[in-house]
Structure 1
Amino acid sequence: MARLTTFSKLLITILILLALVFGFNFLTNGKLLSGVLGGDETTVEATDGGTGTSTTGSATTGSSSGDPIRVGVVTWGGYAGGQYFNEGFKATNQSRFKKEYGIDVEFVLNDDVVSSLNAWKNGDIDVHWYTIDAMPTIMPEMKDFDPVVLWQADWSRGGDAIVVKRGINSVQDLRGKTVAVAELTPSHSFLLWLLDAGDLKPEDIKIVAQPSAIEAAAAFKSGQVDAAVVWSPDDELSVRSVPGSKILESTRSASNIISDVFFAKRSYAEANRDRLQKLYEGWMRGAAEINSSAAAKQKAAKILGREMSLSEADALGMMNNVRLTTHGDNVNFFSQNSDFRGVTGGDLYRRMAQEYKDLGFINSSIAPFRSVAYGGNLVSEANARLTGSEHAGEGRTDFAPVTEEEGTDKEAIATKRISINFPTGVSTLDDNAKQIIDEEFVPIAKAFGNARIRIEGNTDNTGSLATNIALSKRRAQAVAAYLTREYNMDNDRFIIVGNGPNKPIANNSSESGRAQNRRTDFEIVR
């Protein structure tokens, strides 16, 4: 039998001791070696001009109640309220969330949406962004995680647009044309709304599906398609690249279609209710300050520019393409204001769920909005603390009186023809007429909240020309009066036109043709 040398005995002894040390370290969750090596979880603060950027030695660093709340975001100006209040993207002692609420917040930037959503599923991100219009499309794959909507962060106000080649001047001109769009995204939702406003259906155009809005812009710039739905700043860049092209429409006037929300797993929301309440209230305070102070907005642009590797000017431009929503906006969004007549989160969620089901993109049932609208709880609890005009919801858009040019000459980008049946010689709306307006036009009028609407009354050729023109104008005025009274729309928003029999769309020689000509046209005016 071979004998062990003195060195071999020493080596075996050392290995046995190391095994004992590491075994004990494992049983004590690393505390032994952590203390020996000086590896306590500490935060090394490094300020940059007072902005409070930091490097952390652990995910739990600086948190008074465990890990920081990790918020998944993309390069977008609509989340500025929270990022400004946090003094940046990292969890630091400079954060107002930390100073005023005792919570740590970390923003995780990832423009790869699929990757970011997977991180949320895996628990690497706690709170994630999405748009409420497109959220129904991801609900089936999220079913096992039971997602709940926590709050509304913004409305897109120019961040989404459709660019078109020369010769396309209205939505109707898109018929038969090729349109590049990233399906199942806010771009897709915007396109569907626009087609509806122009009396077109998806099958009336040739959709060229793209992986993202960036690829949609590239397809347009390279001449592969006639139009594309893009995100800012690709709208302006596309127009510069293609001679004669233009922006047909954007969410600057289609103001209540695309809305960013944040969501979490229901289990996380329930376990972290108090922390999410504080996150919501701080975020809303940040948004209110930016909305009401030019200095705060400039500071927010500096923070976003630094964290997203953008110039301050670009960051400011990005923020100018959104409406940062306030606490009052969230009250409206979650249907907690009985007097509100605008677009709610439930309106968008339900409509787009049905749209995408009809198109075959959703093949299973999804949770109703009332069951996922967890944010109503946060909103209710904050009502007593978030008071004052800066926290009020956005008021209706007020328009200047209609000019002579806008009366008949201003170009319409979309026309929606609706048959409203009036008894002969009558201009009063009956209940059936009101229901038709409610169902077929009111959603469009709300969605395109910053656009003027021209209401044109039309008749057949039965009777005198003068009588029919006067009657058709009274009927258009009756429709405008109804929208003003029932939905609090500004009366100056409407352009009233009585065409009488002068704009027929069918032959007046038959009863069916005359019936088609007795119509009301609703036009979205550029």
Structure 2
Amino acid sequence: MQETRRRFIKGAAMGAAALALPMAGKTWAAGAQAVRYGGSAWLGHYPAWLAIQAGYFKNEGLDVGWESFGTTSARVSALLSGNIDMAVTAAPAALAVMSRGSRHFAIIGVPENFGRVEGLIVRDGVQNLQDLKGKKIGVTFASSAHLLVLNLLDQAGLKAGKEVAVLNVPAPEMPAAFQAGQIDAAAAWTPQFNAIRSMPGARLLADDTQFSLYKDYGVTPGPDVLVARRAFLDKHPETVKRFLKAYFRANEQLRAQPESTVAALTELTKLSAADQLEMVKGADWYGASEQGALLAPGSKYIDGLQQLAEMMVRYGQIDKTPPVREWVDSAYL
């Protein structure tokens, strides 16, 4: 588990922010408040991209610049070092930084729930989790899918590394490894998730909705959270409020009119229109009206993130459990 711990903690806290690659965005009239957003082609960044392309930020007097990152750790590092102001990140990466005591950022929103586009895919002969005994599962270590696998095996009373071999396979290589028979099961997220599911003889055994915390708290193994640099929040509170207004306007469009978002999003993802629409429809998009309940003190969602942090400690992903509530700030909604 040492490599896993390094990737979650050291990678998130110390990854090179220089990996940020500026991506051409729209530049608005002089005088607009600048906001630097860190994103990627992952669906958690769709709202920010759509709000840029549709002019929602412009309408709020904001000039939001987009910087693309290849890894979550690079994105989080850029936020902590002040190279970007806001980003969406997988909660485990944020929890890893919290566990180190960093107070330089806050969770200010929850974009979506993507529990149906990540899961454990097996071959036809595997009917249940118990059938995985003695088999090989491929998963990318230090990922949300890794947490899902460890939790599913735990639920089934199977020991990872003893009764079931859990192998570290980079996400892009997962489809080929499954197709070649190098692994008996694959834990992946979209688009690899979709590619493997479509292979002959493959079937979905469990997705994120079978994750133990999802059942009780609605929290997946790697839920996305919208985070902002604390110094930016303190200096530009009204800007943050306008950002969130435009951001959740895009979320409402993703939820209510998914077809209308496809053309803009394919510029980011390079997916086909059909695959892009499937991606949008595969997530549950949260609107502005739902944020207060999600982020409120004592909310089921924040309690779920706390439980996720405790689970990460049990599975050796982080060293100690942070008090998650202390990093949540709903004052800008």
TM range, normalised to the smaller chain?
0.7 to 0.9
Q: Which residue of 1 aligns with 2:138?
A: 180
User: How many Å separate the matches in 1 of 2:194 and 2:48?
Assistant: 28
The answer as to 2:67 corresponding to 1:108 is: yes
Q: Which residue of 1 aligns with 2:56?
A: 96
Contact 2:302 2:325 in 1 (8 A): no
Which residues of 2 match residues 131-142 of structure 1 at below 5 A? Answer: 131-140=90-99
User: How many Å separate the matches in 2 of 1:354 and 1:201?
Assistant: 19
What's the TM-score, normalizing by structure 2? Answer: 0.79
Q: Which residue of 1 aligns with 2:127?
A: 169
Amino acid at match of 1:96: Y
Give aligned-pair identity as a percent: 21
The count of corresponding residues between Structure 1 and Structure 2 is: 302
Of 48, 55, 78, 1:119 maps to: 78
User: How many Å separate the matches in 1 of 2:317 and 2:71?
Assistant: 21
Of 321, 325, 328, 1:370 maps to: 325
Of 108, 122, 138, 1:150 maps to: 108
Structure 2's unaligned 5+ residue stretches are 1-23
Distance change (3 Å), C-alpha of 1:273 and 1:189? farther
Amino acid at match of 1:109: S
Q: Which residue of 2 aligns with 1:271?
A: 235
Q: Deviations over 1:127-174 (max 9, x none)?
A: 122222453234346x44622111101101322111112321112222
Q: Which residue of 2 aligns with 1:319?
A: 280
CA positional deviation for 1:183 = 2.1
The answer as to 2:213 corresponding to 1:246 is: no
Q: Deviations over 1:29-61 (max 9, x none)?
A: xxxxxxxxxxxxxxxxxxxxxxxx8665xxxx6
CA positional deviation for 1:214 = 2.5
Of 44, 55, 60, 1:78 maps to: 44
The answer as to 2:27 corresponding to 1:69 is: no
Higher Rg: 1
What's the TM-score, normalizing by structure 1? Answer: 0.52
Structure 1's unaligned 5+ residue stretches are 1-52, 89-94, 380-526
Distance change (3 Å), C-alpha of 1:312 and 1:106? farther
Instruction: Give the CA RMSD over aligned residues.
Output: 2.7
Which residues of 2 match residues 88-487 of structure 1 at below 5 A? Answer: 95-99=55-59, 101-140=60-99, 143-144=101-102, 146-202=104-160, 204-210=163-169, 212-241=170-199, 243-251=200-208, 256=218, 257=220, 258-292=222-256, 294=257, 297-335=258-296, 343-347=300-304, 349-363=305-319, 365=320, 367-374=322-329, 376-379=330-333
Secondary structure of 1:167's match? coil
User: How many Å separate the matches in 2 of 1:109 and 1:247?
Assistant: 31
Q: Deviations over 1:257-295 (max 9, x none)?
A: 142112122222212221111111221122123322x3x
User: How many Å separate the matches in 2 of 1:102 and 1:327?
Assistant: 19
Contact 2:313 2:321 in 1 (8 A): no
Secondary structure of 2:110's match? strand
User: How many Å separate the matches in 2 of 1:202 and 1:328?
Assistant: 41
Contact 1:305 1:314 in 2 (8 A): no
User: How many Å separate the matches in 2 of 1:107 and 1:98?
Assistant: 14
Which residues of 2 match residues 53-64 of structure 1 at below 5 A? Answer: 62=29, 64=31
Secondary structure of 1:124's match? coil
